[in-house]
Amino acid sequence: MKSMLRFRTAKSQRWVYRLLNGLAIAGSVLLCSLLLLPRLPGIELLGIVPNWLLIWVVAWSMKRPVWQGMLAGAVLGTIRDSLSAPHSHYPIHLLSLTLVGFLTARLQKQRYIQEDFISVALIVFAMNAIAESIGAVCNFWQGFREWEAVWRDYQRIVLTSSLLSSLWAPVLYYPLNRWWQYIHALEQSGGK
Amino acid sequence: MFSLRRWWERHGVPIVVTGLVLGGVWLLRHTQGSAIAEIYYWVSRPFQGEPQGVAIARLTSARVRELEQQLAEVQAQNDKLRQLLGYLEKQPQAIAAPVIGRSADSWWQQVTVGRGEADGVRVGAAVSGIGGLVGRVVQVTPHTSRVLLVSDPASRVGVAVSRSRDMGYIEGQGSLEARLQFFEKVPDVRPGDAIATSPVSRLYPAGLTVGRIKTLNKEKGAAPEAIVELTAPLESLEWVLIYPPRVAKESQNANALP
C-alpha cells in the first residue's frame, strides 16, 4: 500500500514537472516570436534583429535526438513563416529551421566539441549562415528580384544576422539549458 | 492487445502532445500568425505612445495646416466643378495607426500597425505616412494589421509622372529606392520629376505622393526604366494613415446590383 502511494505521488510529481516544462517551452517560444517584431535599441543592427527562433532550435537540439530537433525546427519554422511572408511561395523557414534542427542534433557535441558559450555561439553563427543561404536561394527562385539584388542583400543580411544571433545566443541558451538540466535531474530523482 | 495498451501508455502522451503542437502550428500558419500578432499588440500596448488624437495633432504642424487650407480651397473648387460635371465622390475617412512592429524577416519589408479589423481596417487598404505612400494592408487581426511596404520586392504600385501624366508601375527593391517601369516607349520624364499614384489604379487612392525620379535608364529593354527615390521615411515610420480600399467599395456596390 505504502509503496503504491509513493508510486502514485511520484507519478503525479512527474506530471507536474512535465506541465511546468511544457509551459516553459511554450512561453520561451512565444517570447522568441514576439521579439522578432520590435526593433529594440541595442538588439537591432541595420534594421536586423537576432534570429531568436533559430537560437531556440539550436539550444533545443543540442542534447536531443535528431527527430526531436527536426520536429522543433519544423514547428518554429512554421511559426516564423506565418509571421513573415504571406505572399511567399515556399515555406522558407520551415525548410531552413528543420535542417538546422537536424544538423545541430547530428553534431555529436559530446564527442567533438566542448559545451560552452563559445561553441554555442559558433554553432549558432554557422547555422544562421546556412539558414539565411537557404532563404536567399528561395528568394531568388520566387523570381521577385534579380540575382544581383538578392546577392547584395544576402551579404548584408547574413553577416549582420549571424553576428547578432551568435552574440545573443547565450542569453537564451544559458537559462533554457539550465532549466532542462534541472527538470531532467528532478525527473530522474522523482522517478526512482 | 495488452502489448498495444502498454505501448500506448508509454508513447500515447508524446504522440498526443506532438499532434496538438503540429495542429496548433498549422492553424497559426493558416491564420498567418494572427494569434501572435494579437498577443504582441496587448504586450506592447503600454509602450505604444500617445492616443490617436494627440498623435494627429503632432502630425499636423503649422505649415501642414496652411497647406491643408490651401488644398481645401482648391478641393472645394474641384468638387464644385465635378458636381457640375455630375459626379461627386465621397472622400474616404483615413484611420491613424501607430507602427508597433517591423518585419519578422530581413528579406521582406513589412510593418505591423496597432489598428485592426475592430477599427475598420480591411485587407487591401492603402497606407500612407508623412512623405507619401507607405504600402498596403495584407493581413488584419482584430487589433493589428500587417502592411506590405512599397519597398518590398513583391509590391507593385501603378504610378504616374505628375508633370507629364505618363504612366508606369514601381517595384520595390528592399531599399528606399524603387524601380519604375514605364508603359510608354518614350516617356516624357526627367530626373527630379514627382511621382504619384496613378489615377487609374484600382488599389490605391489617386494622387498620393510616392517619390521623385533619381536616375533614368532609357537604354534598357523595350520599355525605359527609372530609379525612384521614395519620399516616405520607411525606415523610421511611427504613425501611418490607412485609407479604406477602393476595390472593396466598388465590389460591394457591384454585388448590391443584380
DSSP-derived letter for residue B121 is -
Answer yes or no: do B106 and B10 share one domain: no
| Last residue of one domain, picked from the residues B28, B45, B62 | B45
User: What does the pLDDT look like over B13-49, one tens digit per residue?
Assistant: 888 888 998 898 888 888 888 888 888 888 888 777 6
Give chain B's domain count. Answer: 2
Residue B79 lies in a domain: no
- Report yes or no: A84 at the B interface, CB cutoff 8 Å: yes
Nearest-CA neighbor of B139 among B116, B169, B164? B116
Query: Does residue B155 contact residue B148 with C-beta atoms inside 8 Å?
Result: yes
Query: From CA B134, how far away is CA B109, in angstroms rounded?
Result: 11
pLDDT digit string, tens, across residues B107-152: 778 888 888 888 888 888 888 888 888 888 888 888 889 898 888 8
* Contact (CB<8Å) A86/B40: no
Interchain contact, B104 vs A157, CB within 8 Å: no
Residue B87 has pLDDT above 70, yes or no: no
Nearest to A57 by CA among A76, A37, A43: A76
| Closest chain B C-alpha to A20 CA, distance in angstroms | 14
CATH number of A2-191: 1.10.1760
Q: Pick from B100, B107, B138: which is nearest to A86 by CB?
A: B138
B110 three-state secondary structure? strand
Q: Which of B147, B91, B93, B146 is nearest to B120 (CA)?
A: B93
Spell B11-21 as b/e; 16+ CB within 10 A means b. eeeeeeeeeeb
Asked if B38 and B143 sit in the same domain, the reply is no
Residues 6 or more apart whose CB falls under 8 angstroms from that of B31 comprise: A82
Which chain B residue has the Cα nearest residue A142?
B154
Same domain? For B210 and B107 the reply is yes
Chain A window 116-175: which residues touch B at a Cβ cutoff of 8 Å?
A: 132, 135-136, 139, 144-145, 149, 153, 157, 160-161
Which residues are bridge partners to B102 per DSSP? B111
CATH number at residue B135: 2.40.10.340
Q: Please check whether residues B130 and B214 belong to one and the same domain.
A: yes
Q: Domain check: are B121 and B192 in the same one?
A: yes
Residue spans per domain, chain A: 2-191
Cβ pair B105, A81 in contact under 8 A: no
Which has more pLDDT, A99 or B88?
A: A99
Instruction: Please tell me which of the candidates B32, B103, B106 has its beta carbon nearest to residue A82.
Output: B32
Domain carrying residue B21: 2-45
- A17-31, A53-67, A85-99, B241-255: least confidently modelled range: B241-255
Q: Which three cell numbers stand for residue A59?
A: 539550444
Chain A interface disruption, residue of B106, B138, B175, B217, most A CBs within 10 A: B106
Report whether A77 contacts A37 (CB < 8 A): no
The phi, psi pair for B159, rounded to 5°, reads: -135, 170
Does residue B180 fall inside a structural domain? yes
pLDDT exceeds 70 at position B257? no
